[in-house]
Each structure stands twice: as C-alpha cells, then as structure tokens.
Amino acid sequence: MKRQLEGIRVIDLTAYLAGPFVTLNLAAMGAEVIKIERPQIGDPCRWNPPFAGSEGVSFAMKNDEDLSILYLKRNRMKRSMFLNLQKDKGKEILKSLIEKSDVLIENFSPGVMERLGFDYPNVKNMNPKIIYCSISGYGQDGPFRDRTAFDLTIQATSGIMGITGFPGEPPVRCGAWIGDMIPALYATVGILAALLSREKTGIGERIDISMQDACFSMTTDEALDVNISKGMTTRMGNRLARLAPWNAYEAKDGFIIICVANNAQWNMFLEAMGREDLKEDPRFKDQQGRYKNSDDVEEIVNSWLKNLTKEEALERLREKKVVCDDIPEFRDVLESPQLRARDMIQEVIHPLSGKTGLKVAGFPIKMTELEAGFSKSAPFPGQHTEEILTQLLG
C-alpha cells in the first residue's frame, strides 16, 4: 500500500533524539530516510544501555550484534549508511546524495555544517530544491547560539521546569522527553510545509528550529506574564490557575483525575457526589468563585473520595458525564486495551535476531486512504552502505 511521502528522499545527519524523532515520523509516512552514520561508531545512542540482540536483553553488550533499544526504537523504517565526512571521498559521496534528495536534516552544533562545507548556501548550490532543516539547542543565531543542550537544559531554559512542580517546591522536569520531542514535531511540520510549498513554487527552504523556541511556545496557554502580574505562583502541581476542581485526587485505592470546566459540569459534579445542597452556595456559583475558594473545593472533593474506591468514584462521575479518569502506573498503561486496539503498543524488532519482546509506541497518526506506520525494523548500523553506493549512486 502506498504512503503519503513515497518518493521523498531524506538525508538524515542527526543523532540522539530530536533529529531522529523527526526522521522517524517522516519514515512512517513513507519517506526514504538514509541515516548517515560515522564508520564503526554510528549514532552515539547506539551505545546506550539496555541492549537487545540474539542473547536477549541486557545492560551490557554481549556481542557485536547487540544494539541499544533506543537505537532500535528511534530508527525504525530507515536505511543506514556509513560515511566519513572528515574525508574528501565522504564529502563527495554526500554531495552526490544531496543532488538526488529532497530533504537534509542535521542537528550538529551551529557552525559544524559550515566547516564541513555543507552549510545551506553551499547545499542550495548543489540542489536548489533541497529542504534543509537544522535543529539546535538555541537556534542558528542569538547570544546563546553556541551553547550545547540536552532535554533537561531545554526544559529549564524554556520555562517548562519553572512552571512544573508544586508550590514552594523545586522546579521539576516533565517525565516525557519533551525538550527533544516538541522541537522534533515542529521540525516535522516545517518540513511538510516546505515540501508543500515547493510543489507550488519549485523553491527549496531553510528551516531553523531552536529547541528552546519550540518548548517556550508550549509553556502556557495564558498571556505569558499574567500569573506573575497577578502575584500567583507559577508552579501549581496538578491544579490549574483558573479552574476548580482540577487536580489529581486520592481515593481509597489510588488516584484519579477530576476536571470541571464550567457551571453545567459543576452542577453535574455535585449531583455525582450527592451534594446538591452546594448548588446555591454563593462561594461556588461561578468559575471565578470556585477558583477563589479552591481550597474549600479541594476539601469537599477529598472528603467525598476518602471512603470510595477509584472504580466507585469513576462510575458515579461518568454517569453524570463529569470529565474524569484513573491514573494508572506506567506498567498498566502498557496493557491499555484502548492503546492496543489502536495498534499503539508494538514490539521492538532487531534487524538481525528478530523479535525482542520489548514494547514501544506505534505511529499515532491514523489515516484511511494511505498507509502510515512502522512495518520495518531499524537497520543495523551501516547495513545499506553498499546498496546505496551501488544502486542509488552507481
């Protein structure tokens, strides 16, 4: 079955997470992704434990076939080619690939591609229609341009950590690797938009993705300084600055989420609790009053829940259409019947030894007319070098 980006060739010069996550998404939609790796070394994440191979899963490499689970997950559907860009022959081969490709994506530190001779002006001369995407910690210009970055530093400097955590407590990193993955999704959007634009204009594009920019754009839905100007704490745990109840609440056997966004939902929530007497309470008549008196709201919810199991509370809330749900441990999420029904929990496949028994996420974009998703394993590093040199480049 055909895929959306069939016929699009991508040169992937990226490593670690942000860049490979972009090309993973492009590959899932049918792009031919050629992952360029340093000879015998490859993507540095290849060496990060745990590893999988013919002798199972281990935190130490048992043989030369073992590959990092990170590598297997991030490079599904791609082809791998060893190429030494420090050598003239390697540069000559990369130039030949550029001439035959649609997209080049890199996440070196700013200045590296220029020193290699493959900055955008040079690459544009090789292929005027190329879509050239760079991902870096702080972008290709500005006073922080030369700073190195990882997910944790980006979550910090973008403001995400500053608004994550509980009042009076230290800043907290979001558990998901959003410092890498948010920029990767913006880069994917940018590449798709540039490909569409090229169809109309015949002109390529230069895309500059700053990880800090991308994450800063996601920090808050309100005006950026409203909490500060109103003297409100920026770290509120699971609560929200304008709604109540909106939190994680403890029942007898674990935690649930309850979200009430308007007056109609509040009244239904009171009915679920059997507290219709509070419908006329002036403290809770509107959204502003409920937030102003949110500590009282929290006390009411906690008093109701303390004698109920999660399932008992959720059943009553769902009967009244109150937005709520369980908070499962991650091991339970991996058994979710909903995620399984939508093919979101898949097995990691090793390119040489096959099934590993390990679980990773499937492709979340579901389409009807054309196929999208992961039907092939990651390559073994350098696996397609000869094939690309002979069949593609002659």
In degrees, rounded to 5, the angle at the alpha carbon of residue 91 between the alpha carbons of residues 90 and 92 is: 90
Are the C-beta atoms of 34 and 10 separated by less than 8 Å? Answer: yes
Q: How far apart are CA 391 and CA 394, in angstroms?
A: 6
Q: How far apart are CA 177 and CA 107, in angstroms?
A: 17
In degrees, rounded to 5, the angle at the alpha carbon of residue 220 between the alpha carbons of residues 217 and 223 is: 100
* Catalytic residue flag (residue 66): no
Q: How far apart are CA 87 and CA 177, in angstroms?
A: 34
Q: Which of 88, 180, 213, 277 is catalytic?
A: 180
- The token duo for 253 is 């056997």
Q: How far apart are CA 181 and CA 187, in angstroms?
A: 10
Nearest CA among 63, 64, 54 for reference residue 354: 54
Q: Is 16 left (phi over 0), alpha (psi -120 to 50) or beta?
A: left
Enumerate the active-site residues.
180
